[in-house]
Every structure is written in C-alpha cells, then in structure tokens.
Structure 1
Amino acid sequence: MSRQVQGYLYLALAMLTVGSTVIASKLIASGLAPFSATALRFALACPILLVLMRVTGTRLPKLARHDRLILFVQAGAGSVGYTMLLISGLHLTSAADAGVIIGTLPVVSAVISILVLGERPGRALLLAVVLATAGVLSIAFTPEATGGSFAGNALIFLAVICEGLFILLNRRLQTEIPPLAQSTLMTGIGFIVAFVPAVFETPLAHAVSPSAVAAVVYYALVPTVGGFLLWYAGAERVSGTEAALFTALAPVSAVILAALILGEPVGLNQIAGIACVLAAVLGLGLAGRRAAMKTTAEE
C-alpha cells in the first residue's frame, strides 16, 4: 500500500469518527446534562494526550499573553461551546439532521473568514454557500418529517459556528503550536471551562443511563484522541487540499450511522440536503486544489 493510499485510509477513518460524534452525542443527550458530559469528555481525554506528548517528546512553546488569550477563547468556543451545543441540539433533533448541518462546517468557516477578515469571496465559494444553504434549508423547515425540530437544528448550526470561530482564531495565533500540544491544551482548558457550569447544572443522576456514560467514554477516546491521531497521520501523507476534501465524509457517515445504529428514518429531504452539502464541500475543495496547482505552476 502506497504512502498516499495510507493517507487516504487514515483520513477516511478520521472522518468516520467525526461522523460518529453525532451518534455519541445523541446517546449522551438522553442521559447526561451537556456541561457535565463535556467536562467528563475532556477529563478522560486530557491525561491520554499528556501521555502522548511525553512519549513523542512534544513540548509546548513559550506563549505570549495574546496567544494564551486566544487559546482560552478557542477552548470556550470550539471545544466547550461546540460539544455543549451539539449535545443540547441532539436532545431536540435527529442525528441525521445534525449530520447534514455539521457538514456545512468548511463553508461556514470560509464565510466567517470573509465577514471577520474581509477576505474576498470567489465564485466557487459563493456557489458553495448557495449549495450549503439549500442543504440546510431542505431539513431546517421540515423537521417533523424526520423526527427533528427547528430549535434543535438551530442549536446544531450554532455549534458549527462555534467550530468555525475556532478555526478562524487558530489563524490569529502568533506562535506555531504542535498539533498534539494544542489538542492537549484544548482538552485541559476545555475541562476547566466546562467544569464550572457543570457544578451548577441540575443533577441528572436519576436519569443517567449506561449508554450515555459509555458514549462519553467513546467520544473521549475514539473521536477526540483516535480521530486526532488518524487525521494527522493521514494529513502528513497527502496534500492539504486532498485532506480538506475528506471532510465531506463526515456528514455522510453521520447520516448512515444514524440510520444503522439509531434506526432513524432518512427522508428525501435529508438525502437532498446531504447531496447539496457534499457538492458544496467537494466544489470548494476542488477549487482550492486548482488554485494550489496554479500557484505551483507559476512558481
């Protein structure tokens, strides 16, 4: 097996774990309060990431106050905000609907860059925005057909915005931080941020189910730790534009797993929605690939 094919396999498995977070969050939502579940996730993942840092000799660079502040906001938005909103949204809507909405992350991230950084959108991005919007609208206003809800879908979309802000803030860091060190920081800071509101959360001990606890353990170990290792193992074997294209697999895996594991119905509106989102992400990725090839040719 060639190095490139290995990279494709690792990236595909990484995106499968990302899609599975929707299923895990759906199970968590039925038996654990969102902040408590989020704090537990990070409490389980952080020690493992610290061990990996020690084993690999990864060190945290000296950070300026500016970068420390950005990392704290990143953890609050991208780590805690995303997880909490995802779990809260899945308490109200279907996992299949959530999978479609989460698939818009690459497009939402690009739009945030335009609005905040003033970047000029190209035709490919504008088309991707239209397609992704059509995909979300296909399920957002017909939730009763698939067991979802408008409020739940709105919370999922807010989670996507939080993750988009995480990506934007990452570009504002002045010091380059190794991916493993940054992931460890995100889980550690995320635990502290989530633990405070978790203390004041209404106890749900009487409603805690073994499946919810097992889902948190899975979320912490497989997508958080395993997904990180798979993604960077794959990303170092292929180009950045090729890796970006694999993000389109996340919503597909989420919808398929929702049907297989949770037994959720997949309606025509969801199929249409995921088709639009896939077209948007793949089109955006291919446009980026062509731009990169053009730049290389000019050099």
Structure 2
Amino acid sequence: MEKPTIHPYIPILIGVISVAMSAIFVKMTTADAGVTAFYRMLFSILLMSPVFLYSYLPEIKKLNRRDWVFSAIAGIFLAFHFILWFESLNYTSVASSTVLVTLQPLFAFAGTYFFFKERLSAKTLISGIVAITGSVVIAYGDFQVSGSALFGDILALIACALITAYLLFGQDVRKRLSLVTYTFIVYGFSTVTLFFYIIAKGESFGPYPKEEWMWFLLLALIPNLLGHTLFNWAVKWVSTNVISIAILFEPVGAAILAYFILGEMVSKSQIAGGSIVIAGLLFFVTDYKRIRKIFFRKSS
C-alpha cells in the first residue's frame, strides 16, 4: 500500500479547525449576511479560476441541459444556506448554530426517504431520535435565554435543510464531473444568486474597512478551500467514515474557538444538547462491522 507523506489524521485535524473557523470569521464581520456570503463565494471563485481554466475547462462539455438546471438549483440552495446560517449567528451562539447545522446527515436521510423512497433502518431512526432530542435541549435552553436565540436556532435548522437540498440536487451531476469543475460551477451559480439577492435587499457591496475584506478573504481561503481540500486529500488514505466523524466535531472546535476569540460562554443546555446531538450522529455514521478498518484503506 502506498504510504502518505504525512499521517492523514494531521490534515483531517487541520481541516476540522479550518471549517470551524467559518462561524468565527462571520461573527467578526459587520456586513449583512448576504454580503458576507457573496464575497465568500466570489473570492472562492476567483481563487479557483486559474486551476479551473488551465486544467478543467474542457469538462464543461460533459454537462447536459438537466445538469445545468440541477447545478443552478444546487447553487441557489447553497446561497440561501449561507444567508440563513450567517444570519443565525446574529441571534444565537456559535455553539448552538454549528451544532444544529451539523444535523445535515439526518436531513439527507429524510430527503432520500421522501424523494427517492429509500428505506430507513432502525439504526437511522434511533440516531435521528437521539439527535433531535439533543437539538430540542439546545433550543429549550436558548429559549430560556431569549426568544431571539431561539429564532437563531430555527434559522440554523433551515440552513441545515438547505445544505441537504444542495447536496441532493448536486449528487447526480457530481458523478460525472471532477470536484474542481463541479464546485466551480455551483459556486458560480451561488455567487450570481447572492449578487441579485443583495440588489433586491438594497444591501451595500461596499466600501468596507480593510479588516472586513480580510474576513471575506479568510472565509474563502480557510473554510472553503483549505478545509474541504484537506478532507478530499485525506479520503484517499482513510475511510470516509473517518471524515464523517471528524466533521461532527466541528461544533466542538467552533465552541472552543468562540470561547477564546469571542469570549462566548457555553451554557449547560448547549453542552448537554450538543453532546446528545453528536452522540446520535456518531451512532449514525459509525459502521461497527468495519470499525477495525476505519483507520486506513488501500488507495485506488
């Protein structure tokens, strides 16, 4: 078996920290949610352009009319996912928001059940009940704090549903395209959607202070390009389950970063609810029959 130059768990750890930084950067901005999302996607597109144009442009020919439509819908869902998630951070804490957005695997199974008639196993149902119980604990605790915190939780849950819809519409197109080409196209549609959203809302494209532009650029560089690129590199060497489990600890990393950088305290209900959610999702993604093979697998 080919040996990686660096232990895969190191890039995975860096990847988790990278995606966890997303909520921190959003909290640091003063721009509207739509504007922040727009510049995150725009800078991602600009940074990807040289690689895409040089090596992947011919892949565009593989797309048919249905692919373009599905890619556009996926981009629209992604845009509104960012709008609602970023907006949720204006009302609730980093800990609550990131935990609730992490419920995406359960929304995915609900979507495949209703739209593709896939059967739900007992394991999936148990995991769902446990995770939903945890989210209720978080929501109840936030409601005790303020109604606006609960409103932020609701926005985060809707954002979670939208990212699931984005994945469901894009999964068929992704089978025929490289990651770079697919990401570039969907990010492009998402950027255009956000552009018109900002115009419709009458929000400002600028000017902004230098610090604001720095946060926009860091959002594109670290969570978007660095974090997900590291996950995609690591999946060659480790089981996909490892990546899935690692991503579940994004809320933990985000909460710790928010404590040290933003001074956000974590309440008992957030700790309890977050722990229940993560436990439910861990049970969901863990394949016990292959637990001994979870560390390394042969590269193809």
TM-score by length of 1: 0.87
Counterpart position of 1:60: 59
Counterpart position of 1:23: 24
Q: Give the 5 Å matches for 1:67-78.
A: 67-78=67-78
Distance 1:211 1:153, change over 3 A: farther
Distance 1:262 1:276, change over 3 A: same
Distance in 2 (alpha carbons) for counterparts of 1:289 and 1:23:
37
Contact 2:198 2:204 in 1 (8 A): no
Give the stretch that moved more between structures: 233-242 or 122-131: 233-242
Alignment of 1:166 with 2:163, yes or no, is: no
Q: Give the 5 Å matches for 1:276-291.
A: 276-287=276-287, 290=290
- Tell me the matched-pair count: 290
Query: Which letter does structure 2 place at the counterpart of 1:37?
Result: T
User: Deviation of residue 204 (structure 1)?
Assistant: 5.4
Give the stretch that moved more between structures: 224-233 or 172-181: 172-181
Alignment of 1:96 with 2:95, yes or no, is: yes
Q: Give the 5 Å matches for 1:138-153.
A: 138-143=137-142, 149-153=149-153
Distance 1:211 1:134, change over 3 A: farther
User: Residue deviations 1:142-191, cap 9 Å, x none?
Assistant: 21566761111111111110111112122333851101111111221111
Q: Give the 5 Å matches for 1:139-218.
A: 139-143=138-142, 149-173=149-173, 176-203=176-203, 211-218=211-218
Q: Tell me the secondary structure at the aligned position of residue 60 of structure 1.
A: helix
Contact 1:59 1:181 in 2 (8 A): no
Query: Which letter does structure 1 place at the counterpart of 2:239?
Result: S
Distance 1:36 1:205, change over 3 A: closer
> For structure 1, which runs of at least 5 residues remain unmatched after alignment?
294-299
Contact 1:20 1:254 in 2 (8 A): yes
User: Residue deviations 1:84-121, cap 9 Å, x none?
Assistant: 11111111111111121122122222222222221111
**Alignment RMSD, CA only?**
2.7
Contact 1:53 1:59 in 2 (8 A): no
Contact 1:4 1:238 in 2 (8 A): no
Query: Which letter does structure 2 place at the counterpart of 1:22?
Result: A
Q: Tell me the secondary structure at the aligned position of residue 24 of structure 2.
A: helix
Counterpart position of 2:131: 132
> For structure 2, which runs of at least 5 residues remain unmatched after alignment?
294-300
Identity %: 19
Contact 1:15 1:227 in 2 (8 A): yes
Distance in 1 (alpha carbons) for counterparts of 2:68 and 2:76:
12
Distance 1:95 1:212, change over 3 A: farther
Distance in 2 (alpha carbons) for counterparts of 1:292 and 1:73:
39
Distance in 2 (alpha carbons) for counterparts of 1:196 and 1:21:
23
